[in-house]
Amino acid sequence: MPESLLAPGAVLALWTLIMLGWVAATRFPALAKSGIDLKAAPPGGRGADLETILPPQVNWKSHNYTHLLEQPTLFYAVIIFLHLSGGSTDLTRGLAWAYVILRIVHSLWQARVNRVPVRFAIFGLSTFCLLALSLLAVIATLG
């Protein structure tokens, strides 16, 4: 296993762009199928406008990409705090890898099956990892 606490962060950042690629790969064929021409799109259109136009399975990829720009931003901040304040231990590295693996599973679930109770359970577990990391970051930075 890579020794740096920042390694799981690098994986999650890369995963985020893979999800963006998945959004593009499914959205463009869906746009073509529904007869939407980007060149003729009215000024100011946004991804969120496609919510009522494209099939939900297509939008699920985009929902997940958006989620990856929400809570994980806190994760990046916390692992950087830990890394810079001597808080990189077996425990924090394990929690950080667990967080990233759970977020990738969360993405795959949301993009494909998307049953809410399961998504919630995965999100809940990953949030506990982040909570523990946040607590350890407070201890490492104040201690």
Partner 1 sequence: MDTNAILGPVATLALWSMVMWVWMYATRIPAMSRAKIDAAKMVGGTGKGLDDVLPQEVQWKAHNYNHLMEQPTVFYAVALALAIGGMGGGLNAQIAWAYVALRIIHSLIQVTVNRVLWRFAVFALASLALLALCLHAFMGFVLH
Interface with partner 1 by CB under 8 A: which residues?
2, 4, 6-7, 9-11, 13-14, 16-17, 20, 24, 38-39, 41-46, 66, 69, 73, 76-77, 80, 83-84
Q: Which is nearer to partner 1, 84 or 113 (CB)?
A: 84
Q: Which is nearer to partner 1, 16 or 121 (CB)?
A: 16
CA distance 86 to 140: 7
Q: For the range 24-31, what are the long-range contacts, defined as Cβ-Cβ under 8 Å and sequence gap of 24 or more?
A: 26/57, 26/58, 26/61, 27/54, 27/58, 27/61, 27/62, 30/54, 30/55, 30/58
Q: Which is nearer to partner 1, 35 or 43 (CB)?
A: 43
- Report the SS3 class of residue 86: coil
Q: Closest approach of Cβ 65 to partner 1, in Å?
A: 9
Q: Closest approach of Cβ 68 to partner 1, in Å?
A: 8
